[in-house]
Structure 1
Amino acid sequence: MPIENRKKHREAALKAWETIKNKKREKAARNTKKLTSLIAPYRIQKVKHPEMTVSREGEPIWKGNRIVVPFHKTPSTIACGKFWELRWAYGCPLDCSYCYLRGATKGRMKPQYVKTAYVLEALDEAFCKICEPTIFNAGELSDALMNPFLMAEIVKKFGNQHKHKIYLLTKFGVKNVQFLLDNLNKQVICAWSINAFPVAKLWEKSAPSPDERIEAASQVSKKGYDTRVRIDPIFPIAGWKTHYNNLVRQIMSSFRPDRIILGTPRGLWKTIKYAEKSGVDMSWTQFFREDSGWGKKLAFRQREEIYRFLYDRLDSMGYPLSQVSICKETSDMWKALGLPFTPGLCNCYGSKAFYSNKSK
């Protein structure tokens, strides 16, 4: 097909994507209040991750304060560890079919927010009681940029000190990053969850397109932010190698991520239960072949093939493999890939991930 025709087809596909996305957002907005819903801190404390089953030995010195909470109950077979959540909100308007928040919120995906004054007070206490430089993940129970107005105030708090950082994990596009572009804040780590175009079209229908996410990430990276990419969950759809190779090439041609996180689908039983109840497309569950401490997974060898393929692609593009990690994977997988890991240490939001080339 001539280049000009391919360009026209792509433009038509993007236009169709925008139409579908707008219709989904209009549908989601019906019967919702215009005023922001607020949730009391004691209620957000009760939100439990569906995968919280087994506690590792040893409790953190400080147990948190309902809003700043340690996640330290990773199953022992998973090579991940403790990290700190910033529970400024929960829920997400993007409504991705596979989203594990469906289990954490028992299907209540409509965003709810903690009053910002309470969040700032909780951070004051956390800054005093957590001695080591720490990443606070604001995108664990919500999309970190789903309400830029509220997040701007929280980000300012981090800019007033030089020890801790906030981690903004998102699927939103350029419309939600202006407050970051207005003033560079070195205590902010920006991270985008970006999937291959066909996967996003199937199961991320209300989210900005991968192109929009890449553009937003590129803009904040050029501004000087530590900017990371999460390619997760990687689905082995037909032609997956081509699709994910194209995605990686597009990212690398737009900007160079400071770190990259890879992951494959996880099917926690609560996620599947509430996804079915919500009536979303459940075809994303067709790939599961085995159980793990983190729910259902693809077959071991298939996951290994996916990771090896993407590590090889990144290596061929000159990307440092020391800046790549895999998330919520078994210790056996890390060993099979020959990757070094420290049991009980979070590879994505822990001390290993604190610094990047921009922050050193």
Structure 2
Amino acid sequence: MQTTLTCKDAIETLAKGSLDDKKRYKTFNSTYSIELKNTISLDNGIQPTFSKVADGSIITLFDKTPFPKKDEDVVCPHFIELKWANGCNFDCAWCYLNGTLRFRPMKKKPYLKDKKKIVSHIKNYIQQNEFPSILNSGELSDSLLFEGTDNAISNFIIDLFKGQNKHKLLILSKSDTVESLLKSDSQDIVIASFSINAFKVSEKWEKNAPSPRERILAAKKLHDEGYTVRMRMDPLVPIEGWKNEYKELIDFLFDNLVPERITMGSLRGLQSTINNSKDRSWVEYLDDKSNWGKKISFEKRYEMYKFMIDYLKKEHDYNSVGLCKETVKIWEKLKLDYKKIRCNCIF
């Protein structure tokens, strides 16, 4: 693949090409090249998109979900992964890392990738990528899993984003350890997103993780200091009395802060995740199939989303809501436009 000198050159070349065409570019003073490729957007248009830095081992486009064509296809706008670490110290029963990391001898045990390579790839990305972007640091690990150590994201990654205003770092976590993040003075470049769930759901299936109350209070500390805070209510689980359980969660959240955005998702499981889960009691809720694994029945998912959206609007005058990996059929039933999706991992 021929390498051009500028992002503009690559974009102009791809604009004349077809879907899945690729082009690399590298400026004179850069160590690694950047790959762009033509992808199909949710409005069915072809557009040049960032693909990866060098071999894609550190920074790459998450594009595993194909363009949705059928009612049961899931919607995902694709996002950029910062794969700086793998694994997690928490023990959530349905964690997809159980399947994703199943071939590793240590399974989900956290490890940091080569620190020099991480730093170099991030520097090259920020220097060369002209597309404003959000880098999700919590897709293959909890973003805050190394806090309090030399390997903490607040210790060596956040500072790399300072001095520019084009790219932001997404922190995605179930942790409540935010002291170093607070001290980093990075309000303009960091988006903090916390995954929360109904208190009884978390107590049963999110082992070793801080309680949702503790996570929300940690998020409040950041919010009060001017950080952009988002929330993931994912996965929604229809336990007995689920309406009151999720009302309690929502009310506690809004008693403490108003997040910029809430992204909701329903319980789901790829077969590899199910096969490698120690506690499979949650699988009993899964009835439907999609191109992203098994899901709760369509009727129950619709009921839960409708209830959550209506309650947020009625009780808290809040409508900044997105759905994660949900089907076209659900989006349309809720009268939401998936082509205008605003969810956790994107602007």
Taking structure 1 as the reference length, the TM-score comes to 0.77
Query: Could you tell me how far 1:336 is from its partner in structure 2?
Result: 0.7
Q: Deviations over 1:210-261 (max 9, x none)?
A: 1111110111110110001101001000000000000000000011111101
Q: Is this contact kept in 1: 2:230–2:344, CA < 8 A?
A: no
Mark the CA change 1:346 to 1:260 in structure 2 (over 3 Å): closer, same or farther: closer
Q: Secondary structure at the match of 1:233?
A: strand
Q: Which of 64, 77, 83 is the aligned partner of 1:73?
A: 64
Is 2:173 the partner of 1:170?
A: yes
Between the aligned partners of 2:47 and 2:290, the Cα distance in structure 1 is 23
AA aligned to 1:287 is Y
Provide the aligned C-alpha RMSD in A.
1.8
Query: Could you tell me how far 1:346 is from its partner in structure 2?
Result: 7.0
Between the aligned partners of 2:159 and 2:293, the Cα distance in structure 1 is 37
Report the equivalent of 2:199.
197
Report the equivalent of 2:233.
231
AA aligned to 2:174 is K
Query: Could you tell me how far 1:60 is from its partner in structure 2?
Result: 3.5
Q: Secondary structure at the match of 2:52?
A: coil
Query: Could you tell me how far 1:331 is from its partner in structure 2?
Result: 1.0
Q: Which of 190, 196, 207 is the aligned partner of 1:188?
A: 190
Q: Secondary structure at the match of 1:342?
A: helix
Query: Could you tell me how far 1:124 is from its partner in structure 2?
Result: 1.3
Query: Could you tell me how far 1:61 is from its partner in structure 2?
Result: 4.8
Mark the CA change 1:254 to 1:346 in structure 2 (over 3 Å): closer, same or farther: closer
Between the aligned partners of 1:228 and 1:179, the Cα distance in structure 2 is 19
Report the equivalent of 1:248.
250
Query: Could you tell me how far 1:127 is from its partner in structure 2?
Result: 1.4
Report the equivalent of 1:109.
108
Report the equivalent of 2:19.
none
Between the aligned partners of 2:98 and 2:49, the Cα distance in structure 1 is 28
Query: Could you tell me how far 1:64 is from its partner in structure 2?
Result: 2.9
Q: Secondary structure at the match of 1:263?
A: strand
Report the equivalent of 2:53.
64
Report the equivalent of 1:45.
none
Q: Is this contact kept in 2: 1:62–1:129, CA < 8 A?
A: no
Report the equivalent of 1:47.
none
Between the aligned partners of 1:220 and 1:348, the Cα distance in structure 2 is 17
Give 4+ residue runs of structure 1 displaced > 4 Å after superposition: 56-59
When the two structures are aligned, how many residues end up with a matched partner?
A: 288
Q: Secondary structure at the match of 2:157?
A: helix
1:24-43 alignment to 2 at 5 Å? none
Report the equivalent of 2:153.
151
Q: Is this contact kept in 2: 1:116–1:154, CA < 8 A?
A: no
Query: Could you tell me how far 1:282 is from its partner in structure 2?
Result: 1.2
Query: Could you tell me how far 1:349 is from its partner in structure 2?
Result: 1.7
Query: Could you tell me how far 1:58 is from its partner in structure 2?
Result: 7.2
Q: Secondary structure at the match of 1:317?
A: helix
Structure 2 unpaired stretches of 5+: 1-44
Between the aligned partners of 2:74 and 2:123, the Cα distance in structure 1 is 32
Between the aligned partners of 1:61 and 1:110, the Cα distance in structure 2 is 30
Is 2:85 the partner of 1:89?
A: yes
Report the equivalent of 2:9.
none
Taking structure 2 as the reference length, the TM-score comes to 0.79
1:277-296 alignment to 2 at 5 Å? 280-296=278-294
Q: Secondary structure at the match of 1:238?
A: coil
Q: Deviations over 1:244-302 (max 9, x none)?
A: 00000000001111110111011100001111xxxx22111110111001100011010
